[in-house]
Amino acid sequence: MKAARILAYNKPLVFEDIPVPDIQPDEVLVKVAACGMCRSDVLLVDGFFQGYGDIPPPVIPGHEITGTIEKIGSAVAKAAGIEEGDHVVVAPGWGDGTCRHCQVGNTQICANVRWPGFGTYGGFAEYIPVPARYVIKVAKHLKFEELAPLTDAGLTPYRALKKMRDAGGLGPDRVIGIFGVGGLGAYAVQYAKLLGAGATVVAFARNLDKLTVAKKYGADHIISVKDKSAPDVGKELKKATGQDKLDAIMDCVGAPEMMQMGFALLAISGHYADVGFVGDRIDVPLFPRVSGEQTFHGSFWGNNADLSEVMALATAGKIQHTIKTIGFEEINEYLDLLRDNQVVGRAVVTF
C-alpha cells in the first residue's frame, strides 16, 4: 500500500510502498477513502509531541480517518453490526478499556491511550487496522471528504462547547467568542449556534477570508484582531453587542498572544475552553481569574458518544464544510501551507 511516513522528525514525509497491515482478531481493516490534515500533523512532524512522550519512527500521520470496512477480525461479534463494505469513521483515543476514564467512555484521555496517526499506522496510507469498537458506521450518502474532518476538527469543538453549556456558561443573555476560524473554528461557530442556548456568537480572527466563512456559518458578529490590543477589540465588541467582555470563549488557536487577549476580555464568572495549542505556554495574571471566579476548561478531542452525536448532526444536514481535497502526493506541500496558516477550512487527502 501507499504510505507517507515520518522516518526522521523535522523532515518531509517519505512516500513508500509498504505491506498492507495484518489485523488482530478484535480489529477491522479500514480501506482509507479520505483523511483530513490537521495542524497536529505539522506539530507531530516537527517533533512537538516528543516533549510529551517518545513516538519512534517510522510513523504514519493522519488521524481524521474515514473509509470502508475491508476485512473483519475473527473475534468481532455479529452484534457489532458491521459488515465488509460498510462506510465508517474512525474514532480517536483507543483506550485500555479498564481505567476509570475508559469505564465512563472517555477513552481519549486514558493514560494508556493509543491514537491513530501517532504511531505505526495512520490515515496517510491506503489501509489502517482499527479495533472494531472504534469504528462508527455512517450513512452511505455522506461524502468521505466531509466525514473525515468531523473526527477531529468537527469533534473537538463540539465536546468543548458541550462542557461550557453544561457548566452554565451559555444562554440567551450571554456572548460567546470563537477565537480562530480555521479547521476547528469554522465548526465551532456552527456548534455555538446549535448548542449555545441562544447566546450571541462573535468570531475573532486575523484573516478576513476566515472571518467571511464565520459569517457565512452563522456568526452574529465578526471582529478582526490583527494588530489590535485587547482594549481596542473590547471597544469593537461593545459596539457590536453592548458589552466589552465575553461570557464564554472557545479558543481554537491556543497561541500565547491570543490567549492573553482572550483572558483580558473574559467577563466575571466567564468560561474559557481551549482546544488549540499553537503555543505551549501562557502567561496571564492570576488575580482576575480568582476574583472573577472564572473557569478554564481543558477539552481534548472527543469520545465515541460525542462523535456519534456529530455524525447524527451530519446525517441531518446540519453541518456545513469548507473543504479542499488534495491528492496523496500533495501531502508535504499542504503541511507547509498549514505551517504558514494558509489553509482556509480543512485540507483533506482523498484516495
pLDDT tens for each residue of 40-66: 999 999 999 988 888 999 999 999 999
Predicted local confidence at residue 53, as pLDDT: 86
Mean pLDDT to the nearest integer, 187-193: 97
- Is 252:188 a contact under the CB 8 Å cutoff? yes
Predicted local confidence at residue 89, as pLDDT: 98
Instruction: Compute the mean pLDDT over every residue in the chain, rounded to the nearest whole number.
Output: 95
Per-residue pLDDT at 286 exceeds 80: yes
Predicted local confidence at residue 350, as pLDDT: 97
pLDDT tens for each residue of 303-331: 999 999 999 999 999 999 999 999 999 99
- The answer to pTM > 0.85 is yes
Is the pLDDT higher at 57 or at 344? 57
Task: Tell me how far CA of residue 65 lies from CA of 124, 166, 350, in angstroms.
Answer: 9, 29, 10
Per-residue pLDDT at 176 exceeds 90: yes
- Is 324:348 a contact under the CB 8 Å cutoff? yes
Predicted local confidence at residue 333, as pLDDT: 97
306, 256, 305: which is closest to 276 by C-alpha? 256
Percent of the chain residues topping a pLDDT of 90: 93
Mean pLDDT to the nearest integer, 20-38: 97
> Which amino acid appears at position 51 of this protein?
G
Q: CA–CA separation, 300 vs 166, rounded Å?
A: 16
CB atoms within 10 A of CB 172: 9
Mean pLDDT to the nearest integer, 197-225: 95
Domains plus CATH for the chain?
Answer: 2-153+302-350 (3.90.180.10), 156-298 (3.40.50.720)
CB atoms within 10 A of CB 171: 14
Per-residue pLDDT at 341 exceeds 90: no
Per-residue pLDDT at 2 exceeds 90: yes
pLDDT tens for each residue of 60-106: 999 999 999 999 999 999 999 999 999 999 999 999 999 999 999 99
Per-residue pLDDT at 279 exceeds 80: no
